[in-house]
Homo-oligomer: A and B are copies of this chain.
Amino acid sequence: MPTIYDVAREAGVSAATVSRVLNGARTVDPAMVARVLTAVRELGYRPNAVARNLRRSRTTLWAVIISDIGNPFFTATVRGIEDVAQQAGYSVVLCNSDEDPAKEETYVAAALSEQMAGVIIASSGSAKAAKSLLDSPIPVVAIDRQLPRGEVDTVVVDNEAGARTATRHLLDAGYRRIACVTGPEGVSTADLRLRGYTAALSEQQPPGEPLVARTDFREQGGYDAMAALLSSPERPDAVFVANNLMTVGALRCLADHEVRVPGEMGVVGFDEIPWADLVRPSLTTVAQPTYELGRMAARLLVDRIATPAGRPATVVLPAELRARQSSAR
C-alpha cells in the first residue's frame, strides 16, 4: 500500500503538501493540487485512517451499541442515528450486545480503545460497561434505557405513561383480570412499564390486583411467561406485554394453546411490530417514535462532542397507543 510519502515523491512535493491537498487546505497552489491529485490517482493512494487518527487523537466513528439486533425497534432507531451521523460527517458502526452484559463490556472496551468519537448505547444493564464509559472522556448518549447510575444525555420514551395508557385501554374495553409480562429487574424500561401498569390498576374502583411475570425481553421469554399465566390458578383475561419480541412469543403461545384473541385473551404490546397490522388478529401496540428517537440521540451526541462539559439532557418522547383488534371486546 502506498503511503503519503510515495505520493509526495511521485508529485515532486513534500508530504505536508499532499496532506494539505487531501484535507482541503486552500493555501495550496492550484498547479500543485493538480499534480498531487494525479499522483494519488495513479498510485491508487488511500490515506491510512489509523495513522491519521493517532496523529489527530480523534476519529470520526461512532459506536452504536444496541442490545438486540433482531429487534425492529433498535434497527429503526439506528436508521435515525445514521442519517444524522452521516450529515455530521461521522460513520456509524453497530455493535450487537445481544442482551449479554459480557458482550456489552467487550464492545464498550473496543469503542474506548479505538478512540471512537462517541458512543450511543442501549444498555443491557452492565454496571461495569456503564462505569467504563462514565470514567472515560468519551461522549455518551443513552437511548431507550437509562444507563445504570448514569448522568449522561438520555433519550427515552415516556414508558410509564405509555404503559398506563395501554392498561387503561384494556380496562376500558372491559377486561377485568389483566396480567403484565415485563423484562428484567433493573432495566429501566422493564421497571417503568411495570409501574405504569400497576398505576393504571390502582386507579380502579376497587383497585385491580397486579399479576406480574418477569422474564427477559426475548421472544422465548414471552412465550414461557404466557404459558405460565395460562396455567395459573388466577388465569387472566388480558395481558399487557412490555416489549415487542415478548409479545410475539405470547401470541405464538396463545395460538399454540388455541386461546382466542381477543375473545378469551386481550393483548396489548409495547413497541410497534413491523407487521402488527398483518397479523390476525391485528395487534394493538404502544408505538414509539423510533426514527425520531434515533435522530434526537444523534443530535445530542453531536452537541456533546462539540461541548463536552455542561449538564446532561434527558429527552422524553411520547409513546402512542395504536388500538387494533387484539384488544377489542
Contact = CB atoms under 8 A, between A and B. Distances in A.
A100 to B, nearest CB: 10
A43 to B, nearest CB: 12
A79 B75 contact: no
Q: State how many copies of this chain the complex holds.
A: 2
Interface string A33-72: 0000000000010111111011000010101000001101
A274 interface: yes
Contact of A248 (B1, B61, B278): B278
Given A50-B50, A70-B75, A279-B278, A94 B96 contact: yes
A297 interface: no
A69 B79 contact: yes
A113 B49 contact: yes
A318 to B, nearest CB: 23
A305 interface: no
A73 to B, nearest CB: 11
A184 B48 CA distance: 35
Using C-beta atoms within 8 Å of the partner chain, give the interface range for chain A: 35 or more
A69 B59 contact: no
A44 B273 CA distance: 43
Interface in A264-288: 273-275, 277-280
Interface in A66-117: 69-70, 72, 75-76, 78-79, 82, 86, 91-96, 98, 103, 106-107, 109-110, 112-115
A279 B248 CA distance: 11
29 contacts: A46-B113, A48-B54, A48-B113, A49-B110, A49-B115, A50-B50, A50-B115, A51-B54, A61-B110, A61-B114, A69-B78, A70-B76, A78-B96, A86-B106, A92-B95, A92-B96, A93-B93, A93-B94, A94-B95, A94-B96, A251-B278, A252-B277, A255-B278, A273-B275, A275-B279, A278-B279, A279-B279, A279-B280, A280-B280
